[in-house]
Amino acid sequence: MTEGRLDRRAFVRGGLTALAACGLRGGGSMAHVPDRPGATIAFRNFRLFDGVNTSLHDGKQLFVRQASILAIEAAAVAPPADAAIIDCGGRVLMPGLIDAHYHSMFATLPHERAGSITLDALVLNAAEDMEAAIMRGYTTVRDVAGLSFALKDAIDRGAIAGPRIFPSGLAVSQTSGHGDFREPNELSAYSGDARERANYLSVIADGVDAVRRKVREQLFLGASQIKVMAGGGIISLRDPLDSLQYSSEELRAAVECAADWGTYVTVHAYSPRAMERAINAGVKCIEHGHLAEEATAKLMRDRGVWWSLQPFVPLKTTELQDPRQTRKLQSVLEGTDRAYRLAQRFGIRVAYGTDYTMNPEGAAKQSTRLAALSRWYDAAGGLRMATSENGALLAMSGPRNPYPEGPVGRIERGAYADILVVDAKEIPSLASFLTPETSLRLIMKDGRIFKNSL
């Protein structure tokens, strides 16, 4: 939402890091993706936060083999003879963090480059951020707009370091909607030719048939869920926050196409009317929703709709370019507290996500928004949301889940071995994730160790 200054050297460095990680350029001290050790890894001497229970469990040991958690046993059981032992020194072992609203391709893209960047430069910039994200403790992200399929594949096959990505592909937007980033002189009335600016974030579709086609294209590309813009946004300049985007028929068409592939639609919406229209059309998740009213919250509860809410609170670094953006942000900020309280009061399932977009400084401190949850949740509640609850939301992709071998966000037998060891003897505070360099002593994803300072 906010933006940082372009650091050209950092940008070039990021590109080279990614190339080195891909094996296209040798040498140097570039980061790399570690190999998965063949033998069993036995974690011992830890206090377990399993992502589900809000209290710690002691007296356990945990075995990892390949990408999975093989078993959780009593500490007295002898580990397998071939096991490599990791003594956690009595610290907390927990699941890797999940960001349910991330833009892998755009989080750290300097705002000035957004209109002109080519796809190859965009991917290299994103690769650098992905590597940084895993070092911040994020082992999974749900990408809710962005052409991140190739990035995801490169991460999955170990060519570059980064979190698992649940991709939405391009967000589908109506003309004049939150995903229409054209300038006035690019409209057909002026250019004589309806051009679509390549933005790699969203795609424009009007009418039921066009919506079906664009949704199906994202599914064709491998989307695990579909993102539709159903109301006004902040960074987009020309769509009022209160605007309703897409008719009920168009929204239903998107929902049907997603359901036909066994998955779901999540919508960008802030206003109560946009949220209600989308929920009535069958969407399963609302992104944002900061302006919800009591009736909206009741509807969400009754329909079992997820609330992917972000703790947008005033930040010192908030510097939007345009006063139109600032005004919109202000009204969203005013709704944040009420939205969390409504969600708690009505028992709505809430996901944790950050939504950094073209904000290199913000994304570099991704857990600022995790720490901000402490206004409404205690540490265990916030961490539970950022792990097992987010994992439950991701599982709604059903047969389109790109990681079907086990759950993410929980420490249990058969789950993916995405593990943090935190330098804490009690449930870590949400603020402790602001300094992952010191607070995270071990980071494992997919059974691979990315950091170990134990």
* 3-class DSSP state of 357: coil
For Zn ion, give the closer residue by CB, 234 or 279: 234
Residue nearest to Zn ion (CB): 355
Contact region for Zn ion (CB under 5 A) — 352-360, 372-380, 406-414, 418-426? 352-360
For Zn ion, give the closer residue by CB, 51 or 311: 311
**Closest-CA residue to 34 (of 453, 454, 449, 452):** 449
Nearest distance in Å: CB 272, Zn ion: 19
- Binder among 99, 143, 276, 355 for Zn ion (CB under 5 A): 355
For Zn ion, give the closer residue by CB, 355 or 418: 355
Nearest distance in Å: CB 234, Zn ion: 9
CA–CA gap between residue 16 and residue 1 (Å, rounded): 27
Tokens of 431: 């603020």
Tokens of 363: 């994304």
Nearest distance in Å: CB 103, Zn ion: 6
- Do 411 and 419 contact (CB within 8 A), yes or no? yes
Could you tell me how many residues make up the chain?
Answer: 454
Q: Does 180 bind Zn ion (CB under 5 A)?
A: no
Nearest distance in Å: CB 424, Zn ion: 31
Residue 1's contacts (CB-CB under 8 Å, 6 or more residues apart) are 234, 235, 312, 318, 320, 329, 355, 356, 357, 359, 362
Nearest distance in Å: CB 432, Zn ion: 26
Mask: binding to Zn ion, 303-342, rule CB under 5 A, as x and -?
A: ----------------------------------------
CA–CA gap between residue 355 and residue 310 (Å, rounded): 7
- Do 443 and 420 contact (CB within 8 A), yes or no? yes
Mask: binding to Zn ion, 381-420, rule CB under 5 A, as x and -?
A: ----------------------------------------
**Closest-CA residue to 49 (of 435, 386, 449, 392):** 386
For Zn ion, give the closer residue by CB, 110 or 381: 110
Binding site for Zn ion (CB under 5 A): 355
